[in-house]
Chains A and B, each alone.
Chain A
Amino acid sequence: MAKRIEASNVSSYYGSFKAIDSISMTVEPKTITALIGPSGCGKSTFLRSINRMHEVLPNARIEGSLTIDDQNIYDPDVDVTAVRRLIGMVFQRPNPFPTMSIYENVVAGLKLNGVKKKSLLDDAAEQSLKAANLWNEVKDRLSRPGAGLSGGQQQRLCIARTIAVEPQVVLMDEPCSALDPISTLAIEDLMFKLKDRFTIIIVTHNMQQAARVSDKTGFFSIDKTGDPGRLIEYDDTQKIFSNPTEKKTEDYITGRFG
């Protein structure tokens, strides 16, 4: 299932503002890659460029190429909706559809893709909720509104919704920043479990989290406000946190900057 992602010289813009400058990195299948760096360094922009969510914002555009198993997702004949189905995304704040029940939230993506048979949807909902470690908590109230869950449960619901459409890559944009420590731990456990099936890229502000969950870590930074973000260093997590090559990385992870 999981696929390799290769970014080469990706630059993203908001209008005339260049948010990231020539990012190149390769993400191996079935790994967790963490993107860290100070606020405004473009790590979220880069993440959103990977499943073409960047261009949803007005005047946003991108240069360079991003391939998933050798298919450039920015080729003109590529179907954006297929890309996004292939590369799922979990957002910073839990965003279940407020008008839908827990069950409807999970199967929303499947329904879009034309799955109508109730038994298949039921099955998929159960599998996805189990995979998201949420099944035991919600199995008795699947028809209740998704917005009624706690923050951590909502976020796991969103993860269930994302993996229900069987993506190959899951992008997570600071998925725990709105959650308490216990919910955060639950999500981190979940990431380890999902690693068997998906390629995961996570943006996080929390360096301990990056060190705990990821195999590889990319450090983004900017020189000063208004400058585009750059990828300073990208290596095994262990190396980044114990013996970084770049001085800037070391400054950042030891807390001397950012």
Chain B
Amino acid sequence: MSLLERESAGVVMTPDNIRSKRLSVVVNFGIAVAALLLSAAIVLGTGIGNWVLVVVLGLAFYLLGLLFVASRVEGRRAGRDRMWKTLIYSACVLAILPLASVVWTLISKGYSRLDGNFFGSSMNNIGARDPDGGAYHAIIGTLEQVGIATLIAVPLGVLGAIYLVEYGRGKFATTVRFFVDVMTGIPSIVAGLFVLSFWVLIVSPWFNNGQPRFSGFAASLALTVLMLPTIVRSTEEMLRLVPGPLREGAYALGVPQWKTILRVVLPTALPGIVTGVMLAVARAAGETAPVLLVAGGAAAINFDPFAGNQSSLALFVYQQAGDASRYAPARAWTAALTLVAIVLILTVAAKLLARRNSLSK
């Protein structure tokens, strides 16, 4: 057997001893403390930074120390395993920090204007010295724009998904599916520019004595472009989950395909489709750029989405953020809190709905 040759060549690494020393928790903790102390001594001793640097440098020292000590005690491979584990855990902690800060700021700064006036009045005739003024007009705008966009995007998106799942075969279907995915990545500002150049500058003058006109509807069109791919994709996924035998059962009864789709397939997939629509709505409600470009923003209430400038909650946040009034930041943060609340409620509800959905299990 050539096994012996290999043994003489030093390939055999199987240890007869399966025991190995483990790095105890105490030692691990000790390394951490030592690293932190060393870091503090260096940083504060030389005065090159504050406690943040102490922590960062301390973590770096800890990682090096851990790698060194663990490699000595447990072996090189175990040492590396420990180092990567520590790095991966640190990544999580690092990501939680900004998130916590955003949430905390939203609540602490947004709380101040959470009053009836904010939700009941617009910014009409609100000057730089007026402390009140609200987002009523913006909320109306968001509801109308997102509502119309949903009305357009849902039928279109669901039909498109039906095409991909039920009818689509061959190259054309593959192309459509590919570009639906590509379309999810179109920047919202590009969608806004598209509707600006197409609807606002070319189509809207026909209805407005040759003058281009901003409108909430134009914003809806831009939001539709953004919602459509999300709805197609999520609906497509849900339709694919509908079991084949369910369709075949209907075909076997002589039900034509379109009726099967409308009466059997769609109702079965409905909860999942609703989830996808809610996520798309949540995304659309948070868009600022397209509304800025094609609805223009307004300080007064405008209930008519087809004529004249409208604002939206997201745009309100942006415009208050750029406002010089010392009362503007409070309005911006309260509007941001409202917006996040709406978006998160929609998202959480959608996810909970998805979790209860029997199809996606």
Contacts and interface: CB of A to CB of B under 8 A. Distances in A.
**Genuine A/B complex:** yes
Interface of A: 68-69, 71, 73, 75-79, 81-83, 85-86, 110, 112-115, 120, 123-124, 127, 165-168, 197
B14 interface: yes
Given A112-B77, A127-B3, A127-B6, A79 B19 contact: yes
Contacts of A83: 18
Nearest to B21: A77
Interface string B68-80: 0000001111100
Given A82-B19, A124-B11, A168-B14, 4 more contacts: A81-B77, A120-B9, A127-B6, A165-B13
Contacts of A115: 11, 13
A197 B9 contact: no
B27 to A, nearest CB: 15
A127 B2 contact: yes
A168 B12 CA distance: 12
A79 B19 CA distance: 6
Contacts of A127: 2-3, 6
Nearest to A69: B16
Contact of A123 (B11, B13, B18): B11
Given A71-B18, A82-B20, A166 B13 contact: yes
A77 B19 CA distance: 6
For the complex of A and B, 8 pairs with smallest distance between CB atoms:
A79-B20, A82-B18, A113-B13, A166-B14, A77-B19, A120-B11, A78-B18, A83-B18
> Interface size bucket, B side?
20 to 34
A113 B11 CA distance: 10
Classify the secondary structure of B's interface with A.
loop
Contacts, number: 66
B1 to A, nearest CB: 8
A194 to B, nearest CB: 12
24 contacts: A71-B18, A78-B19, A78-B20, A81-B78, A82-B15, A82-B18, A82-B19, A85-B13, A85-B14, A110-B11, A112-B77, A113-B13, A114-B13, A114-B76, A115-B11, A115-B13, A120-B9, A120-B11, A127-B2, A127-B6, A166-B11, A166-B13, A167-B14, A168-B14
B13 A86 contact: no
A71 B13 CA distance: 18
A77 B6 contact: no
Interface string B234-272: 000000000000000000000000000000000000000
Interface string B55-98: 00000000000000000001111100000000000000000000
A123 B14 contact: no
Which among A79, A112, A127 has the greatest number of chain B C-beta atoms within 10 A? A79
Contacts of A86: 14-15, 18
A81 B80 CA distance: 14
Interface string B8-41: 0111111111111110000000000000000000
A244 B11 CA distance: 44
A109 to B, nearest CB: 9
Given A81-B77, A127-B3, A197-B3, A73 B13 contact: no
Nearest to A164: B11
A77 B77 contact: no
Given A112-B77, A127-B2, A77 B20 contact: yes
A150 B215 CA distance: 63
A120 B14 CA distance: 15
A75 B18 CA distance: 10
Nearest to A124: B11
B18 A79 contact: yes
Nearest to A168: B14
A107 B131 CA distance: 73
Contacts of B1: 197
Contacts of A120: 6, 9-11
A48 B5 CA distance: 32
A82 B15 CA distance: 7
A102 B22 CA distance: 35
A23 to B, nearest CB: 21
A74 to B, nearest CB: 11
